[in-house]
Structure 1
Amino acid sequence: MSDISITHEGHVATIVIDRPPHNYFDVELIRDIASALEHIDEDVNLRSVVLAAEGKSFCAGANFTQPKTQPSGASGALHLYEEALRIFACKKPIVAAVQGPAIGGGLGLALTADFRIACAETRFAANFTRIGFHPGFGLTVTLPELVGCNNAELLFYTSRRIDGQEALKLGLANELVALDQVRTRATALAHEIAECSPLGLLTTRATMRAGLVDRIRAATRHELAVQDRLKTTNDFAEGVKSSAERRSGNFIGK
């Protein structure tokens, strides 16, 4: 697990992603996070988790200029979304310390957490349609459940990037603090959660998230099938190119 670190303090575990500056993910990184969470589940002394990141971004999703980082192959045993399902299946509350951009699949990773602490510098974006792509990482389930269907549609259809203040209004962020206080406040919230009875926490969270893994599994199968098809299009190639060149895409619908 060379790109994450895990520490414990009292009843709280902290997982830190360490691929600065943007913490792009691949199958291995998501698998390592899932494995860390499963180990935390097995430790009866640990009751809550902080998920944080080093660098400018919390997680900028997949780096589409490097094809090996992209989710692909619906039948692949190590497919990224199969590893993401393991994160959703973990049992203990997670507080994400989102100190910077959470973009695309990085937004999906942030929404695996129960709560998000953000700052003015935080940016959230489901920017898939801007690159000729389709949402993934279970966002077609998690985003509308968090902000409402119509707000999710607005974020999907425009691919707009919103700051921490707007995220707080929409419910994407639970609290807004200064940049240098994001991880501190996330840790404080995790400790507040960990003061409660572990059996009460586990059973209540299981009730609140009942059926979530099954919904995410169905959603990611559909998301992946559409993503694999769109990757073969001219518009996707143009979307990746225009994004790298920081310009609007010249899309043709093919």
Structure 2
Amino acid sequence: MSEQEEIGLTHEGHVALMEMRRPPHNFVDIGFVGKLADMLDNLDRDDNCRAIVLCSGVSSFCAGADFSGRTPTAGNAPGVDPSPFYGQAMRLFRNKKPIVVAVNGPAIGAGMGLTLVGDFRIACQEARFSANFNRLGFHPGFGMSVTLPHLIGPQKAALLFYTGRRINGAEALAMGLVDELVPQDQLRQRALELAQEIAASAPLAVESTRDTLRQGMADRIVAANQRELAIQLGQFRTEDFREGVAAMSQRRLPEFQRK
């Protein structure tokens, strides 16, 4: 599948719409995240672009990394050495232009992390969010140890991390994880409307204000991600990690042994 097929790019006035098109669930890997980062870099250089909408062209927003059908071993478990993947993912946090994320369905693990790249999130009731890392037997990644508590506070972030709880659009709105909840058939249009409202403001002023509000944030996210990575690399070698992935694949509760 070509880059153009995997990530569509269209323009509506000063708003760029990036549509992820990787069926069935927009699972992410280093190549896909790299393409997203490259596209954001290009849009930073496009003076006609003043705001961006990130959305999905499939039923899920992004279901994270695909662990299904694999036995987690050092040779084939996704994320056993996620260093290159995170190297690309961290680029996403250095873009200069506001991003509105339209969450139409599941945003799980790294997919939830991807929603936190945005400045604003518009969701529908059918959206599902889960930071399910601990349920899989390892430490959260994607810089989420910074981005999630920054958005919803450390107490609510801890709850989502520790439990791996899956929440719907209304629960995400109540937590402050999303900014607006709209019917699913109005989701993309509402995200475009918000982006167009942003784009109507002076672009130099918006970008400089965004830079001030987010000063140092990308560096903090990258530094936190280095810690996340170091912990993950150790935990990917544990029996608990293998059990967590197996339990998810078999749709059962894991039985962790602290080893």
- TM-aligned CA deviation for residue 86 of structure 1: 1.1
Would you say the 8 A contact 1:4–1:17 is kept in 2?
yes
- TM-aligned CA deviation for residue 228 of structure 1: 1.1
Aligned twin of 1:50:
53
Would you say the 8 A contact 1:62–1:69 is kept in 2?
no
Q: d(CA) in 1 for partners of 2:170 and 2:81?
A: 37
Would you say 1:198 and 2:203 are equivalent positions? yes
- Output the amino acid matched with 1:93: P
Name the SS of the counterpart of 2:86 in structure 1.
helix
Residues 98-141 of structure 1 show CA distances to partners (whole Å, capped at 9, x for unaligned) of 00011001000000000000011001110111111110000000
Aligned twin of 1:8:
11
Would you say the 8 A contact 1:84–1:137 is kept in 2?
yes
- Output the amino acid matched with 1:71: G
Aligned twin of 1:137:
142
Q: d(CA) in 1 for partners of 2:77 and 2:29?
A: 5
Would you say 1:17 and 2:20 are equivalent positions? yes
Name the SS of the counterpart of 1:14 in structure 2.
strand
Q: Normalization by structure 1: what TM-score?
A: 0.96
Would you say 1:246 and 2:251 are equivalent positions? yes
- My pick for the range that moved more, 61-70 or 25-34, is 61-70
Query: Residue 232 of structure 2: which of 227, 231, 244 is its match?
Result: 227
Name the SS of the counterpart of 1:7 in structure 2.
strand
Q: d(CA) in 2 for partners of 1:189 and 1:120?
A: 19
Alignment of 1:92-107 (within 5 A): 92-107=97-112
- TM-aligned CA deviation for residue 221 of structure 1: 0.6
> In structure 2, do the counterparts of structure 1 residues 233 and 59 end up closer, same or farther at CA, with 3 Å as the change threshold?
same
Q: Normalization by structure 2: what TM-score?
A: 0.94
Q: CA RMSD in A?
A: 1.3
Would you say 1:162 and 2:167 are equivalent positions? yes
Gap regions ≥5 residues in structure 2: none
Which stretches of structure 1, 4 residues or longer, exceed 4 Å deviation after superposition?
66-69
Name the SS of the counterpart of 2:17 in structure 1.
strand
Query: Residue 63 of structure 2: which of 60, 76, 88 is its match?
Result: 60
> In structure 2, do the counterparts of structure 1 residues 138 and 51 end up closer, same or farther at CA, with 3 Å as the change threshold?
same
Would you say the 8 A contact 1:25–1:69 is kept in 2?
no
> In structure 2, do the counterparts of structure 1 residues 173 and 69 end up closer, same or farther at CA, with 3 Å as the change threshold?
farther
Gap regions ≥5 residues in structure 1: none
- Output the amino acid matched with 2:191: A
